[in-house]
Structure 1
Amino acid sequence: MAVPEGATAESRQPKRALAVVVGIVFVDLLGFGVVIPILPYYVRSFAVSDAVIGLLAASYSLMQFLAAPTLGRLSDERGRRPVILLSLLGGGIAWTVFGVAGEVGAVGGTALGVAVLFLSRMLAGAMGGNIAAANAYIADVTAPERRAGALGLLGASFSLGFIFGPALGGLAASGPVVAAADAALPEFVPTTQYSLPSFLAAGLSLSAMMLAFRYLEEPNRRRGSVERKSMLDTFREALADPKLRGLVIAFFLASVAFSGVQVMFIPFAADIYGYGTTEVALFLTYIGVLGALNQGVLVGRLSRVVAPSRLAVAGAALLAAALGMLPFSPELGRALLPWVSVVSPELAWLLVSGAVLSLGNGLLNVSLSTLVSTGASADRQGSAFGVTQGAGSLGRTVGPPLMGVLYVATYWSPFIVGALVILPVLGLLAQRAR
């Protein structure tokens, strides 16, 4: 196939191209993970309600929802490489602004400082739509029969970013590091437990941009003339397409369930298990390690012998089961695992539920992405991934506040409602598998 007009380079080595894009996404998500430990405390430093934390998370996901289809379409029109470069640059700017919000608040007042927080998170969310271009890039450089394994590697880079990123963020926010930075950096650079992790995240995004500029080639693919459409038109077309309609709905519902439960797990662990920050961080690391193994190794091997549609059904079933078990882990552990002595039966069942949750989520996410890539034409990969990622972002906008209200009413209700929300996904995927 000839190199399309306007392409900057030709990817003659698919394995190398895959390794480069996965590495770039990992470095970018490492920066995202850096900010996770400080975010709630940074918001509280402005002496505002904890409700702002949820709104701040929703603003990120909302902007990602609005931007992902546009970035996906632009990657079809202009190329994957320029969209990825632009979004990484924008992410670096967003995290830098996020780091100086405290200084702005100290000078201009709380309202202005909080406004800067929201503006920076909204910009970061808009630039976070680059994952659609990364998914489409992988679809461009891998054969259909190898695509599930390749997309699993991208999922594993997510998990690894969330394993190592929070650890780096905690280190950057520690007293000795802040003191050393304060002594070494110029006076005009804010050096606080909140600004340093933010600047580290910015540095990682810009480092990923430089890696992309140096090593990321534009894949060799056929570019179609893409008609410009509004976001609503793009979604309307996707919902009218029988190959994509169920997948868009599945992405939305799965994101509502998983993101909401993910946010409410920490209050659950604190209230029911009495866990503090360290214990919760260790459990999340355990989930992250399992996620990296599941998506980076297991899913790729399974996809060689099991169709993606069947893997998606299995993932949805496991995810629903795990969500239903999770809030009753103490009771189930005492009833079913009384013989466990290494850890308490209550913790043992929590670890089992977490393992099932990680496996189900990994199978479902990678298989859905594979089904999207095989259901869209070669010149519409970016648009298709943009729409489905946008649906996921919309779900992450709805899920956390919804599950938060449910948790206040009854601690187990977010998990049970999350499991019930997955059931229609299971039905859609089972029908598709048949």
Structure 2
Amino acid sequence: MESALVPKTEGTYDAETGLLVPQAAIWMVFITIFMDTLAATISTPALPYYARSFHISNAAIGYLYASWSFTSAFCAPVLGKLSDQVGRRKVLIASLVGAGIANLGQACAGNYYELLAWRAFSGVWAAVGNSAQVYLSDVCSPAVLPDYMSKLSAVPSLAMTFGPGLGGGLSKFGLSIPVLVDGLLSLAAAGLCYIYLPESPSWVADRENPKTATVEASSSSSADVPPSVKVLAFSAVFQGIAFGTAVSMTAITLDAKLGFDSLHVGFTFVLAALATLATSIWGTSRVQQRAGLKNTAVLGSLFGGAFSLLMAVVPGVWTTVTFLCLSRVGVSLRGGSSGTILTKFTNPSNRGSVFAMQQFALNIGRLLGPVIAGHLAVQDPITLPWLFSAVCSLISALILLAVQMPDLPEPQQSVSKMVRGFTDLKGAADSLELEYGSAEDCKALGEYVGGLLTKRRYRWVSRREAIYSMLDKLLPELSSGACDHVQDLERLMKHVEQMQKDFQNVQSRDC
């Protein structure tokens, strides 16, 4: 098992996968994020009810969520820097272990203040998602990184379709049980990472060459942050306030308005997660293509704020749940566009500091949202928190709308998925030259194709002209540009895969 996970030498990407590590390591990262998100969402529906068992107010529940945001806002950048010093793998494992211990402490809390302290301690280790992104950035070639990053962003939504429902069901055995399971899953994920996840080869190579690390660190620290990034960070504060309000107040509002218990809240969260997942997979990219990147983010904020307010004020169970799901569609549109917008203001020398600033601003908003919304919920747990959230979403959208996007040439076409075996074409010249094989190459290809046609029952000797005509139609001419060339191959492979499925269906039917 260990030999299958030995990383490659830094700088030598696998020709087919475009990775410095075996693909099993990437799947391990995805599994880790899935388990971490699943653990967190299992405890989310039950946490407010568990906290109320200590006889506290809605404002105190807001402080419970804010304590996590407070510690995570200031500790996440520290863990990010620490990963540059001790390694991505160690920080990822430490974050999972710390989160697991913190959640076990919450489950065993004897009073509200112990619960608050353990909740704040869990925020110290809120670096699993960031560590996973850094790891992927290290081990993926530029050609395949966007594809793996998009897959990573869909994993939390997938976990959220299961976690709240499981948490609601587990709460029937005790309100502390979901929090206990949260901790155990985090510790299990840490164990899997310790066994199966290799260290980033890029980080190892960087540590072995301290001169390069020093030069890169100095150039990164001296890089200027564009003024528009500060405006984006200001918008992110209000985005974080709206998000923090939604996370902390949804269960409280559903309880006050509809009388939902933790089980019903859990299943409602599942429906909202499905709406988020569907938007991430099928909706965000299509809206971006039609409305533009920034306009999609602005519409997402407005959409989320408006429907969250409608969720609070419109009567009825199903209308409330429907508007909640529609508000999550807006949140998904905003979240799926924000990172790409920020990327347009960065370059390799300032990207780390720019994203750190954005994450800090977002966490500050997540800190303020539950505190303010919790106090508003003391007077009116149904309408006031969501009116506050909608106003913050509107402010965030208006600030974002005022940001002037950089005047950069858009790529002609983007490669969404690289074809296996052709990942190295991304770095090739703009125009690909024709390849001419030697006599030995032609002979080897002829023997391979002839043997393949024989094994697959093509009458290539007696029907040679028909075979030539069929091959001519099956292999269309490809574009000469490297990027277009790969996209042509991708379209061709999709047709081939569909054709294989059709043949398999026919053969299964005949049998």
Residue pairs, 1:365-404, within 5 angstroms: 365-372=335-342, 375-378=345-348, 384-404=354-374
Relative to its length, the structure with more helix (as a share) is 1
Amino acid across the alignment from 1:251 = A
CA contact (8 A) 2:61 2:374 kept: no
Residue pairs, 1:255-294, within 5 angstroms: 255-271=240-256, 277-294=262-279
Counterpart of 1:327 in structure 2 is 309
Residue pairs, 1:231-242, within 5 angstroms: 240-242=225-227
Distance in 2, matches of 1:271 and 1:312, equals 36
Counterpart of 2:198 in structure 1 is 217
Distance in 1, matches of 2:119 and 2:387, equals 29
Alignment counterpart, residue 74 of structure 1, candidates 82, 90, 94: 82
Counterpart of 2:331 in structure 1 is 361
Comparing 208-217 with 378-387, which one deviates more in the overlay? Answer: 378-387
Counterpart of 1:127 in structure 2 is 125
5+ residue gaps, structure 2, are 1-7, 12-17, 207-212, 409-511
> Cα distance 1:322–1:32, how it changes in 2: closer, same or farther (>3 A)?
closer
Distance in 1, matches of 2:83 and 2:299, equals 34
CA contact (8 A) 2:228 2:403 kept: no
> Cα distance 1:251–1:52, how it changes in 2: closer, same or farther (>3 A)?
same
Counterpart of 2:180 in structure 1 is 199
Counterpart of 1:317 in structure 2 is 299
Counterpart of 1:178 in structure 2 is none
Residue pairs, 1:46-125, within 5 angstroms: 46-102=54-110, 113-125=111-123
Distance in 2, matches of 1:385 and 1:331, equals 36
> Cα distance 1:142–1:174, how it changes in 2: closer, same or farther (>3 A)?
same
Amino acid across the alignment from 1:310 = G
Counterpart of 2:45 in structure 1 is 37
Counterpart of 1:413 in structure 2 is 387
Amino acid across the alignment from 1:139 = S
Q: Highest relative contact order (Cα 8 Å, sep 6+), 1 or 2?
A: 1
Amino acid across the alignment from 2:94 = L
Cα RMSD, aligned residues only: 3.7
Counterpart of 1:27 in structure 2 is 35
Counterpart of 2:445 in structure 1 is none
Q: Structure 1 residue 252: deviation in Å?
A: 2.2
**SS of residue paired to 1:101:** coil
Q: Deviations over 1:302-347 (max 9, x none)?
A: 59x849x9334303313313312443369889xxxxxxxxxx7x83
Alignment counterpart, residue 140 of structure 1, candidates 135, 138, 141: 138
CA contact (8 A) 1:58 1:396 kept: yes
Amino acid across the alignment from 1:316 = V
Distance in 2, matches of 1:143 and 1:424, equals 36
**SS of residue paired to 2:41:** helix
Amino acid across the alignment from 1:288 = A
Q: Structure 1 residue 36: deviation in Å?
A: 1.8
TM-score (norm 2): 0.64
Q: Deviations over 1:219-241 (max 9, x none)?
A: 3436433769xxxxx9xx99944
CA contact (8 A) 2:106 2:179 kept: yes
CA contact (8 A) 1:152 1:295 kept: no
> Cα distance 1:130–1:262, how it changes in 2: closer, same or farther (>3 A)?
closer
Distance in 2, matches of 1:369 and 1:350, equals 28
Distance in 1, matches of 2:278 and 2:241, equals 24
Distance in 1, matches of 2:333 and 2:392, equals 17
Q: Deviations over 1:130-188 (max 9, x none)?
A: 3222222233344556555533433322223333223333343334xxxxxxxxxxxxx
Q: Deviations over 1:2-34 (max 9, x none)?
A: 639xxxxx9535754433212101111212122
Equivalenced residue count is: 380
Counterpart of 1:105 in structure 2 is none
CA contact (8 A) 2:236 2:396 kept: no
Counterpart of 2:450 in structure 1 is none
CA contact (8 A) 2:65 2:248 kept: no
Distance in 1, matches of 2:196 and 2:348, equals 23
Larger Cα-atom Rg: 2
CA contact (8 A) 1:269 1:275 kept: yes
Q: Structure 1 residue 400: deviation in Å?
A: 1.8
Comparing 68-77 with 242-251, which one deviates more in the overlay? Answer: 242-251
CA contact (8 A) 2:164 2:267 kept: no
Distance in 1, matches of 2:161 and 2:265, equals 13
CA contact (8 A) 2:59 2:375 kept: no
